[in-house]
Structures are given as structure tokens and as C-alpha cells.
Amino acid sequence: GAGVSQSPSNKVTEKGKDVELRCDPISGHTALYWYRQSLGQGLEFLIYFQGNSAPDKSGLPSDRFSAERTGGSVSTLTIQRTQQEDSAVYLCASSPGGQRGGYTFGSGTRLTVV
Amino acid sequence: AQRVTQPEKLLSVFKGAPVELKCNYSYSGSPELFWYVQYSRQRLQLLLRHISRESIKGFTADLNKGETSFHLKKPFAQEEDSAMYYCALRGEKLVFGKGMKLTVNP
């Protein structure tokens, strides 16, 4: 597609359930980032991929969070046993990689844990 | 380690006033700095990057390596500039500051 696509746009889930968030980057973009945006906290880095590998997972808040990327394209961020503090907007961005180009962001998934 | 600091969370000015949004960074290597903007109910978008040395929507930012700063400036703010502004640093990865909300009043 022309832009970065994220689904679902909104997700309400019960505490303790697992959720999967999806990111479809711009075709050909090798770098893919996940961020968490919450009020007063700005954009918190979670993880990034270069191709299918994740050189830096340091931002994942706990072992309940995991992410994968297949075929150098779509990425899924999985949150297991969700907690109320996981409620936030999860943003995905992609980039051509290397030092070329800026980053294009998706519109995000708003996750609400009740 | 990479770090971006935006010391002010809120800035409110009147239309036509100058604005300066501060950004300081910490990085041992050669940094690449960006400013991103998020208007109400829109997605985050690139405003400008230091290597382009462009002026976008009247905004400019100069990288000062001595002061490790990349402040965003506009001489005459407009109401449509009201938004969240994020400074970002690309080193090994892309990290953001906590953002600043700019409100331009009529």
C-alpha cells in the first residue's frame, strides 16, 4: 500500500487476555519500529526490526511483550496477559533503512484494557 | 546510550509571536536529528530533519553539536501550528523525546 497500515485501529480487551497488533509497512522498507504512545510519556521505543531480525528489543516493557516480523514485511506485536497499564496507542513506523529517508508512521492501534 | 530531552511539556503563545521548542540530546556518535509533528487526530509526520537544512511551514532547526541541541524555531506562529511536537534522534535506533504541546491562541 501507499502508507503504513495498522490493525485493528481500536481494541478493547479484558485484563488477562492476549492481544495481537499488526503492522503492514511500506513495501520495500527494511526497517520497522514499534512505539508506545501514552499521555505524558511521549513515544516510548519498544523494538525495531532490520529485515526479519530484531537487533534491539531493549524497549519491550516485560516478557509479556513479544514481536515478530516475517518475509521482511508484516510485523505483529503480541501482548500476553494484558494489564491495565498496557492501555496506550501502539505506533508502527517503517523506513527504507540505512541512512536513507525518514520514517513513515501508521495511524496506530488504540488499546484499552478493562 | 541515546537520549532526547524536551524540557518543556507545554507552550502557549499568541498568533504572530515567535516560538522556540527546545530539544537537547545525548549521543556519543554522529547524530541525525528530526522534528516530528502530530496534529489533532492525525498521524505523526515528519516536519524536518537536520541534514536537509530545509524550512518547512516556516519552521527551522539548527543542529548545535557544541550545545547538543536541536531547537525548533518559528518567527511568527500561526493558529494551525497548534500540535504536539516531538524531537527525535537516530543513532543505533530512532528515539523520541516526550513531546511538547504547542498552543497558538488567536
User: pLDDT band at residue B97, thresholds of 50, 70 and 90?
Assistant: very high
Decide if A45 and B96 are in contact by the 8 Å CB cutoff: yes
- The most confident of the ranges A71-75, A107-111, B1-5, B61-65 is A107-111
pLDDT tens by residue, A24-78? 999 989 999 999 998 777 899 999 999 999 888 889 999 999 999 988 899 999 9
Contact (CB, 8 A) for A21 and A76 = yes
- Nearest CA-CA distance, residue B96 and chain A, Å: 6
The answer, for B59 touching chain A at a CB cutoff of 8 Å, is no
Average pLDDT over every residue of A69-95: 95
For residue B95, CA distances in Å to A2, B27, B66 come to 24, 11, 20
- Nearest CA-CA distance, residue B17 and chain A, Å: 26
User: pLDDT band at residue A22, thresholds of 50, 70 and 90?
Assistant: very high
Chain B residue numbers with beta carbons less than 8 Å from the beta carbon of A106 are: 43
Contact (CB, 8 A) for A52 and A70 = yes
Residue of B nearest to A31 (CA): B93
For residue A35, CA distances in Å to A107, B15, B71, B96 come to 12, 33, 23, 10
- Model pLDDT, residue A101: 66
Q: Is B100 exposed, middle or buried (0-12, 13-18, 19+ CB in 10 A)?
A: buried
The Cα B87–Cα A90 span in angstroms is 18
Give the three-state DSSP class for B103. strand
The Cα B2–Cα B17 span in angstroms is 33
CA A26 from centroid of its chain's CA atoms: 14
